Structure 1
Amino acid sequence: MNDAPPDSGETLTLLLVEDNPGDARLVEEALSDGRIADSLHVVSTGDEALAFVARRGEYADAPRPDLILLDWNLPGTSGEKVLEELGDDPAVNHIPVVVLTGSQAETDVVAAYSNHANACITKSGDPDAYNETIRAFEEFWLSVAQLPAADGDT
């Protein structure tokens, strides 16, 4: 699935884990014209993210994401804890995770990469700048990066 050429029209299944409805809406709007638009799934807590990826409970029929956009500062089960748990699960630890953070703290960036995040994106307070960042994210992951095969688990 993921080794298709960038212009093949194949969609990418993206899981967005974002507790701020405004930030989630900005991401949805930024991706609305791209190949991710119809395959974007949004959850608002770390527990929901883990259930979605593991296909538990109400997410039993959820598709396996090809890529996860993970807010670092989630209430309850933090983004850091979600990243740790995903990394410890051999069934899903191949899924790239891009951390979103509003934090400027170097310790958060180091912690994300220490837990095997594939990238960190700092959320801009300016909606237009954040929109451009998300579009650049989409362009990179759809046109430049090669994602791991889904192992028949799509």
Structure 2
Amino acid sequence: MQRDRTVGRPMEILLVEDSLTAARLTMATLRGGHLQHRITWVPNGEEAIEFVFQRGKFSRAPRPDLILLDLGLPKRDGREVLQEIKADPDLLQIPIVVLTASTSEEDRIVSERLKVESYLTKPIDMNRFLEVIKELSRFWRADMILPGPAASSQQSG
């Protein structure tokens, strides 16, 4: 019996944002974009690091498929979070989209050097944001496609 040809796991998104209003807007936009996803919201850089490195209360956290990162964060600055994630070989490949109020050219340059997928300045054009996420989703889904005809002829037992 053939089932959906993609693995049924939704995209795991980590949203690192200290503003409840911005977090709600981001989550609503993602819901409205009809992307299969699960989102975890953390309000500061310290919790972001604990989450991605699966420490403390996040020891059983899923590995994010995508990180949406504000730069101006309490407890641990988003710039530090970005550098720490990109310095770790096991986390280096996780795509990061920076969502920031910073208009600093230096922040943009440093982020680009660290190979973020996109750098969006607040207030964010939510249509552009959704385009970026959908594009990243296509790449993520490509990794989730099951192999050719042999997979579709297998029956679950």
- Using the size of structure 1 for normalisation, the TM-score is 0.79
Q: Indicate yes or no: 2:10 matched with 1:15.
A: no
Report if the CA contact (8 A) 2:35-2:134 is conserved.
Answer: no
Tell me how large the CA RMSD over aligned residues is.
Answer: 2.4
User: Which residue number in structure 2 is paired with residue 122 of structure 1?
Assistant: 121
1:73: which partner in 2? Answer: 72
Deviations 1:115-151 (A, max 9, x none): 3322211122xxxx643233222221113x358969x
Asked if structure 2 preserves the Cα contact closer than 8 Å seen for 1:46 and 1:78, the reply is yes
Residue pair 2:16, 2:48 contacting (<8 A) in 1 also: yes
Query: Shift in Å at residue 83 of structure 1?
Result: 0.8
Structure 1 partner of 2:131: 136
List runs of 5+ in structure 2 lacking aligned partners: 145-157
* Structure 1 gap segments, 5+ residues each: none
Displaced runs of 4 or more, over 4 A: 7-10, 146-150
User: CA separation in 2, counterparts of 1:138 and 1:71?
Assistant: 15
Where does residue 35 of structure 1 map in the other structure? Answer: 35
Q: Which amino acid aligns with 1:29?
A: A
Q: Which residue of 1 aligns with 2:105?
A: 106
SS of the counterpart of 2:26?
A: helix
Residue 31 of structure 1: how far off its partner (Å): 0.8
Structure 2 counterpart of 1:41, one-letter code: T
Amino acid at match of 2:43: S
Counterpart of 2:147 in structure 1 is none
Identity within the alignment, %: 34
Do the aligned partners of 1:9 and 1:35 also contact (CA within 8 Å) in 2? no
| Number of positions where the alignment pairs a residue of Structure 1 with one of Structure 2 | 139
